[in-house]
Every structure is written in C-alpha cells, then in structure tokens.
Amino acid sequence: MNKLLIIGGSDAGISAALRIKEIDGRADVTVVVADAYPNFSICGLPFYLSGEVADWRTLAHRTAEEIAQHGIDLLLDHRALDIDPKTKTVGVQSSQGASMRIPYSKLLIGTGAESARPPIAGIDLPGVFFLRWMADSFSVKRFMEDHNPKTAVVIGGGYIGLEMADALTHKGVRVTLIEFAPQVLTTLDPELGRLIHAELGSRGVEILTGHAVERIERSDGRLLVRVASGQAVAADMVVVAAGAKPSVELANTAGIDLGVGGAIEVDRTMATRLADIWAAGDCVHTWHRILGRYVYMPLGTTAHKQGRVAGENMLGGRCQFQGSLGTQVVKVFDSVAARTGLRDNEARAAGFDPITVALTTWDHKVYYPGAKQLHIRLTGDRHTGRLLGAQMVGHRNAEVSKRIDIVAAALYNEMRIGALCDLDLSYTPPLSSPWDPVQMAAMQWLGMIRQSG
C-alpha cells in the first residue's frame, strides 16, 4: 500500500495534493474535507458578504470537479476524528454519521485554524457570528436577508474586523467597531494605524479602542454589547473577529508535539516528530526568515507554500520551507495598509539596533492627475544597514501591494537598505517616479544614518 492521505481541503491540503500529482501522476491521493467546499478562498468572504462578489461559487480557487480531474480523490463532508500512528489509520465520520477507518502510508494534517472565542458571556446568542468557513458566511448572508439589520457591532480591529466593517457599511449597515487594543490594526505602528482609523471614521464607522467587551445581552429584540467601562452599544447583529487559533484536536489524538502558539510542531520540511506524518498551514508554527525561529503566523500565502513543500516531501523529497516574512496587505474602503518584515519594536526585541524613517510622498508624479499620498515607514539595522521591514498606507490605487512586495523580495534576499536604490524599477508618470517611493524612503534612511554619525 502507498496511500497518501491528506486531512483538510483548504490552502495547504490542496496545494500538497496538487504538488504530489505534479511529481507523480499515478500517486494514490485522498483528501478528507470536513465540508463541501474544498479549495475556497476564505479571504474572499467579506467581499461576498458586501455584494462585491455576487456569486459565492466564484470564490473557489478550483472546483471539486477540477481537483478531481487531477486524479485526486475528494472525500467531502467527512470529518477526521482520530489518528492511530501505530496502525497508520485515521478514523473518519461522514456528515450522516457513518464511520470508517482509512489506512495511510503517508499522512498530512492540514486542519487549519479556528476562530478565537474570547471569554464573552452571550457570545453564542442568535445574531452573533464568527467568520472562518463558508458555512459561516452563509449564516451571515441568510441573517442579513431575513432580518435586514440596520446596525452592527464588529468585535476586533484586525484584518477580518476591518474588512467586515467595510463590507457591512457597503451594505448600508451602520457599524460600531470595538477593539481591546489602543488602536485598530495593531500590526502597524500607531502613526499608520491612525490613518486607517481616520478612513473608517470618514465612512461613518464608530470606533471604540481600548475597550474590552464583557458580555452580549438580548434586550427588546436587539443585541446589547457591554464593555468593561460600562458603556453599552445596541445592534441588530454582532460579528466577532478576535483572531484565530490553530486547530490541533486531531493532532492531539496521535500524541503529536505542539510548538509555538500551541500549534503543531514541524521542522522546515513540514514533518512532525512522528514517522510518516507531516503538517502544514494554519495549524502549524511557521519558520520566520528574519528572526530565525518559529512563530505562529497563520497566513494563506504561507499555507500554500507549506502545503507544496509537504506534498513533495511525502514522495521522498527534501524540500524545505524557506520561511515567512509576515507580508500582509488589507483594503479598508479606499485605503490600503501593508507590512512586511519587522517593525522597530520587534527588531529591537530580536536583538537588532533598528532605525525607522517615516516618509510621506506622492504615489506617482504629481503633475499627472490623481496623485495620492503614500505613507511609508522603513526599518533597517543601524550598524549593518540590513533591511528589516516596511509598513505602508496609501490609496487603493497607489500600488501599495506592489511596493510592499519590492521590500518583501529584498528582505528574502537579505539586502541592505542601500541596495534598494540600485534596483532597476519601472517608471511612468501615471504610476511612479524616476525614484520609486521605496527608494526615496531608502535614501532618507541612509541620510539619517549619515547625520547620526
């Protein structure tokens, strides 16, 4: 028997299955999927709920039929319950309750993450929603169609919380966003977080930062969200977007070791400590390329890469995951925020001696109509000049994602900040300047170093 079994049909699992089939078209590959939606873009759910994506079916990276055409067996609506590494079998139960044990020669765990559930009384009341899987989006969609909510509370000011504030506002719902931290989007420095705060406010989103939600109650047919200060916000619906935690229950049944953040411990080949078992995606800890250590950083881009590495190694390969830089981008109404690498405080905690410069410039030549301001914070090591990270906020048409990717590519190759000035980047007046804003920030950083002696 040479059966390759994959648990989980999202980014990591399907990437692994496809990589296996690329290498060996005759390989026996089965993917166990807990729902009926393999390889769907969960990142696209807010845009489906906003109505910007009209048909949820288009969120599929590949349809089940397209996956099956690669010779991959999909076992849909089946949940894996336990792993027995001694007999090399996995207990599986269908949505109708039928049970079976599936043998494997090689196993990949790609169970992903689940929504974090903060200790809030009333979090399971009707009208309170999480957003992690396709079924979650269908529940929100049905509620909005049946009840026509006019007001909503979003708990959490991270990426999903901001996207849902945008999506609900797009649908005409008045949103109050509550964040425990002092600012929204804590992955950015406060100077840039304030710009996103202002963008939300300009669109009518009420923002309460520095407030912990204590409980949710039902009062006069509506939901009442109470915070620790005693303030209460009434709403027709609530979306909880308080982050994610790794889904490791299945791994626990096999006695697999856990690592950083309570995620599954893997090495850079994505192998666990148990023979013939790999794991990838949001359920595992992740090698950070700059820090040189493992972190918990669940990102879809990372999951795709890790799944591909695991799939190759399940066939005997020696591929290694090259590490994450934490490159992220989010659209909030007409603003885009992005980051990659380390912020100043993160770099200092990691033992670097960072300097960060702030630059505000135009995204393209100002004489060409439509120029927008672009805000950049660039971080490097004072002594070596090594590039450590960047953050950006700009208009949605300001090529923010392109520019953060320039920095990400430079970080991957461990470039010094001065080398950014030597890059042969594209230029035309409607899109950039002869010196791209990234290079302008690099020059400013070099100037600060010279001035500091």
Separation of alpha carbons 88 and 85, rounded Å: 5
Write out pLDDT tens, residues 114-131.
Answer: 999 999 999 999 999 999
Torsion of CA 201, 207, 209, 215, to 10 degrees: -170
Does pLDDT of 453 surpass 90? no
CB-based contacts of 451: which residues, under 8 Å, 6+ apart? none
Mind spelling out the 3-state secondary structure of 11-37?
A: HHHHHHHHHHHHHCCCCEEEEECCCCC
CATH number for the domain formed by residue range(s) 334-451? 3.30.390.30
Q: In sequence order, what are the beta bridge partners of 362?
A: 373
Write out pLDDT tens, residues 154-176.
Answer: 999 999 999 999 999 999 999 99
Give pLDDT, residue 1.
59
Give pLDDT, residue 221.
87
Under a CB-based contact definition with an 8 Å cutoff, are residues 212 and 180 in contact? yes
Given this chain, do its domains 3-114+245-314 and 128-242 carry the same CATH topology? yes
CATH number for the domain formed by residue range(s) 3-114+245-314? 3.50.50.60
Under a CB-based contact definition with an 8 Å cutoff, are residues 303 and 321 in contact? no
Q: Per the structure block, which two tokens stand in for 316? A: 């005997």
The 10 Å Cβ neighbour count of residue 201 is 12
Q: What is the mean pLDDT of residues 249-277?
A: 97
Which string of DSSP letters, residue by residue, matches 286-304?
EEETTTTEEE----HHHHH
- DSSP assignment, residue 57? G
Give pLDDT, residue 192.
97
Write out pLDDT tens, residues 179-238.
Answer: 999 999 999 999 999 999 999 999 999 999 999 999 999 988 899 999 998 899 999 999
CB-based contacts of 119: which residues, under 8 Å, 6+ apart? none
Average pLDDT in the chain: 96
- Domain positions in the chain: 3-114+245-314, 128-242, 334-451
CATH match of 128-242 with 3.50.50.60: yes
Write out pLDDT tens, residues 295-308.
Answer: 999 999 999 999 99
Q: Could you list the active site residues?
A: 43
Q: What confidence tier does 451 reach under pLDDT thresholds 50, 70, 90?
A: confident
Give pLDDT, residue 126.
96
Separation of alpha carbons 398 and 394, rounded Å: 6
| % pLDDT > 70, the chain | 100
Under a CB-based contact definition with an 8 Å cutoff, are residues 151 and 235 in contact? yes
Size (the chain), residues: 453
Q: What confidence tier does 257 reach under pLDDT thresholds 50, 70, 90?
A: very high
State the Rg of the chain over Cα: 23
Does pLDDT of 402 surpass 90? yes
Separation of alpha carbons 266 and 373, rounded Å: 42
Separation of alpha carbons 168 and 140, rounded Å: 11
Give pLDDT, residue 229.
87
Q: Token match 């609530």: residue?
A: 238
Q: What confidence tier does 344 reach under pLDDT thresholds 50, 70, 90?
A: very high
Does pLDDT of 452 surpass 90? no
Q: What is the mean pLDDT of residues 360-389?
A: 97
Q: What is the mean pLDDT of residues 13-39?
A: 97
Separation of alpha carbons 178 and 165, rounded Å: 11
Under a CB-based contact definition with an 8 Å cutoff, are residues 225 and 233 in contact? yes
